[in-house]
């Protein structure tokens, strides 16, 4: 009688690596297409729906435009912080215990590298997505962001969900 083999499941870090590579590739491909094929910079704002536009902005700071700096030294400091964060996240990924945590870490790593490439290539991060609405005649705009930013937010959400609700989460008695 032969023993049945258990199905081989990929190690969690492989899922994270795949997520990071897919995020990085999609982010950079979309940015290159918007900049050079679609020529968003020449077109100006492009309205896609009543609540969503494509607009080109160059973010020299970090999340939500905090710590804006046009200086070369400032850009290198931000790049060094980003590289350090990616290394720490990669080490965490290698130790990830669940597929969801690995997926979240991969999304964050891919997004961080994508924005880091922008910073090195252009001196700023390419942002282009703008959600907005109008209530009572008053406009409300969300921050302009990109695919890498969305992946980072989704990755953080996955990590939070995994921490509080996932299989390995501590449950209350």
Instruction: List the pLDDT tens digit at each of the 173 positions of the chain.
Output: 556 677 767 799 999 999 999 999 999 999 999 999 999 999 999 999 999 999 999 998 766 555 566 667 777 777 888 899 999 999 999 999 999 999 999 999 999 999 999 988 998 899 999 999 999 999 999 999 999 999 999 999 999 999 999 776 655 44
30 Rama class: left (phi>0) / alpha (psi -120 to 50) / beta: alpha
CA separation, residue 36 to residues 73, 114, 116, 168 (Å): 28, 17, 19, 45
User: Residue 163: which of 151, 171, 153 has the closest Cα?
Assistant: 171
User: Residue 81: which of 99, 63, 64 has the closest Cα?
Assistant: 63
Query: What is the pLDDT, as a whole number, of residue 172?
Result: 47
Query: What is the pLDDT, as a whole number, of residue 127?
Result: 96
- How is residue 123 annotated by DSSP? S
Q: Which of 27, 53, 118, 127 is catalytic?
A: 127
Query: What is the pLDDT, as a whole number, of residue 169?
Result: 61
Q: Does 27 participate in catalysis according to the annotation?
A: no
Q: Does 53 participate in catalysis according to the annotation?
A: no
Query: What is the pLDDT, as a whole number, of residue 2?
Result: 56
Query: What is the pLDDT, as a whole number, of residue 83?
Result: 92
Q: Which of 39, 149, 162, 167 is catalytic?
A: 149
Query: What is the pLDDT, as a whole number, of residue 102?
Result: 97
Decide: residue 105, CB within 10 A, 0-12 exposed, 13-18 middle, 19+ buried. buried
Number of helices (H), then strands (E), belonging to the chain: the values are: 5, 4
Query: What is the pLDDT, as a whole number, of residue 168?
Result: 65
């Amino acid at each position: 009688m032969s023993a049945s083999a258990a199905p081989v499941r990929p190690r969690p870090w492989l899922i994270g690596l795949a997520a990071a590579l897919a995020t990085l590739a999609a982010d950079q491909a979309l940015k290159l297409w918007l900049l050079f094929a679609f020529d968003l910079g020449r077109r100006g704002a492009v309205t896609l729906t009543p609540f969503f536009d494509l607009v080109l902005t160059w973010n020299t700071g970090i999340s939500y435009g905090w710590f804006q700096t046009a200086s070369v030294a400032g850009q290198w400091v931000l790049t060094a912080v980003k590289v350090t964060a990616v290394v720490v996240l990669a080490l965490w990924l290698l130790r990830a215990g669940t597929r969801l945590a690995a997926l979240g870490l991969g999304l964050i790593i891919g997004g961080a590298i994508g924005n880091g490439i922008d910073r090195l290539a252009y001196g700023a991060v390419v942002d282009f997505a703008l959600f907005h609405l109008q209530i009572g005649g008053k406009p409300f705009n969300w921050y302009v962001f990109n695919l890498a930013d969305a992946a980072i937010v989704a990755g953080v959400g996955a990590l939070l969900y995994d921490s509080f609700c996932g299989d390995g989460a501590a449950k209350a008695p």
